[in-house]
């Protein structure tokens, strides 16, 4: 009996750990997706290398209100820095102002670097992140600094406002 329970538990762990590395986006074949160990999420094979390298360099940078450097940054300062370096676009250092410059887009039209806007305090846009792939995005969290999160988490589903593209 003990051996049977142990076997079922091991098989369950193996199956669940494999499932974590599969993207939920079914539009790509498994052969068209790679897993980024640094970011902890899947990427399409044809990912934007400049964007991925730039955001990876920022992982773990601590949160600092009003900051936009690798010593400390807030969400809009992080987005502002990446957009300047990778996309050669100058953005405001304010989530509301960035959201006003963005064209709303649908989830199926998301590309790497497109923006996700959130209403954490429910009144106005007060948080911004950048799309990586599938439901994964990168942002500067007040508690954990620059990190990758999954939009499927309940907290992000509840606070999500819209997707945006900077033209």
> Catalytic positions, please?
75, 127, 139
- Helix or strand run (H / E) with residue 104: strand 103-105
**Angle of the 75-87 helix axis to the 49-58 helix axis, nearest 10:** 150
Tell how far CA 112 is from the center of its chain. Answer: 9
- Contact in structure between 110 and 48 (CB atoms under 8 Å): no
Q: How many CA atoms lie within 13 A of 99 on its CB side?
A: 18
Q: Which of 80, 58, 60 lies closest to 128, judged by CA? A: 80
Cα gap 40→165, rounded to integer Å = 24
């Amino acid at each position: 009996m003990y051996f049977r329970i142990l076997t079922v538990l091991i098989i369950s762990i193996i199956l669940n750990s494999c499932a974590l590395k599969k993207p939920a986006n079914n539009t790509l074949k498994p052969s068209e997706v790679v897993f980024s160990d640094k970011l902890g999420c899947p990427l399409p094979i044809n990912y934007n290398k400049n964007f991925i390298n730039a955001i990876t360099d920022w992982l773990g940078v601590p949160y600092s209100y009003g900051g936009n450097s690798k010593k400390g940054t807030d969400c809009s300062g992080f987005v502002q820095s990446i957009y300047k370096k990778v996309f050669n676009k100058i953005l405001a250092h304010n989530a509301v102002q960035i959201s006003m410059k963005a064209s709303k887009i649908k989830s199926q039209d998301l590309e790497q670097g497109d923006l996700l806007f959130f209403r954490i305090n429910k009144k106005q846009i007060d948080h911004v992140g950048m799309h990586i792939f599938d439901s994964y995005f990168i942002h500067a969290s007040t508690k954990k600094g620059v990190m990758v999160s999954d939009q499927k988490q309940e907290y992000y589903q509840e606070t999500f406002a819209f997707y945006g593209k900077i033209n």
